[in-house]
């Protein structure tokens, strides 16, 4: 019985140490919580402190987390991508191109293409390294006419498209996106690894 109590005490002590160091018992990053059980993860708190250093962050610790690593230099993509202006329709398409590793920074300077039903490129967007709208998109296509489109990413040299898969790269496929007049399509995400 005494041996069982010692083992239990050791397990509780190691669990308490892990939690006090910001780790959960599953090994994932702990979520910082307020007295009501609501909270934000460390990456979210770091972004909030970076954008609003002069404000009190209710759900984040008083000491700001270290700043995120410096932004990666934009890769060069073939074909000279230039953002297209708005089209003549009333639909929008938006999404994100990001490094698929914590803290998932936006990748600015990447090319995203919009193809019509015949496979012709009808618009291009150069991604931003910051959010462009309230949906947290770093690329958008505005003025999109009603129809079904394919949205694909031009994968930069030395990088690979990891999310959702390599088959969403230009030349291999992409997201099939139906657009109706006045509608918006989102969550077109491309996660990449160097």
Q: What is the pLDDT of residues 174-190, one digit of tens each?
A: 999 999 999 999 999 99
Residue 65 has pLDDT above 70, yes or no: no
For the chain, the structural domain boundaries read 29-69, 91-193
Give the distance, in angstroms, between the CA of residue 139 and the centroid of all CA atoms in the same chain. 12
What is residue 13's predicted lDDT score, i.e. its pLDDT?
Answer: 38
Q: Which two tokens stand for residue 75?
A: 């890769």
Q: Write phi, then psi, for 7 (nearest 5 degrees).
A: -60, -45
Indicate the pairing of strand 91-99 with strand 184-193: parallel
Quick: pLDDT tens for 114-158: 999 999 999 999 999 999 998 999 999 999 999 999 999 999 999
CATH architecture designation of domain 91-193 = Sandwich (2.60)
Give the distance, in angstroms, between the CA of residue 108 and the centroid of all CA atoms in the same chain. 12
DSSP codes, the chain: -HHHHHHHHHHHHHHHHHHHTTB-TTSSBPPEE-TTS-EE-HHHHHHHHHH-TTS--TTS-SSPPPPPPPPPPPPP-TT--------SSSEEEEEEEEESSTT--B-TT-EEEEE-TTS-EEEEEEPPSS--STT--SEEEEEEPSEEEEEEEEPPTT-EEEES-GGGBTTT--EEEEE-TT-EEEEEEEEEE-
What pTM does this model have? 0.60
Q: What is the overall mean pLDDT for the chain? A: 75
Q: Which two tokens stand for residue 69?
A: 């690593």
CB-CB contact of 117 with 76 (8 Å): no
Q: Write phi, then psi, for 63 (nearest 5 degrees).
A: -85, 120
- Burial pattern 64-73, b for ≥16 Cβ within 10 A else e, equals ebeeeeeebe
């Amino acid at each position: 019985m005494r041996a069982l109590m010692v083992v239990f005490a050791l397990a509780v002590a190691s669990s308490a140490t892990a939690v006090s160091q910001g780790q959960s018992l599953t090994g994932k990053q702990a979520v910082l919580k307020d007295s009501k059980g609501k909270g934000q993860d460390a990456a979210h708190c770091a972004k909030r402190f970076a954008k609003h250093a002069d404000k009190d962050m209710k759900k984040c610790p008083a000491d700001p987390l270290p700043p995120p690593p410096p932004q990666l230099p934009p890769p060069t993509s073939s074909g000279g991508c230039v953002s297209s202006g708005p089209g003549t329709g009333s639909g929008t398409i938006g999404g994100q191109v990001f490094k698929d590793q914590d803290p998932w920074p936006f990748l600015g300077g990447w090319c995203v293409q919009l193809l019509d039903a015949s496979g012709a490129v009808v618009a291009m967007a150069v991604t931003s390294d910051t959010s462009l709208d309230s949906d947290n998109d770093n690329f958008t296509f505005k003025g999109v006419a009603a129809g079904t489109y394919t949205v694909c990413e031009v994968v930069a040299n030395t990088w690979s498209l990891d999310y959702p898969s390599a088959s969403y790269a230009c030349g291999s496929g992409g997201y099939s996106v139906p657009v109706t007049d006045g509608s918006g399509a989102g969550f077109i995400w491309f996660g990449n690894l160097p």
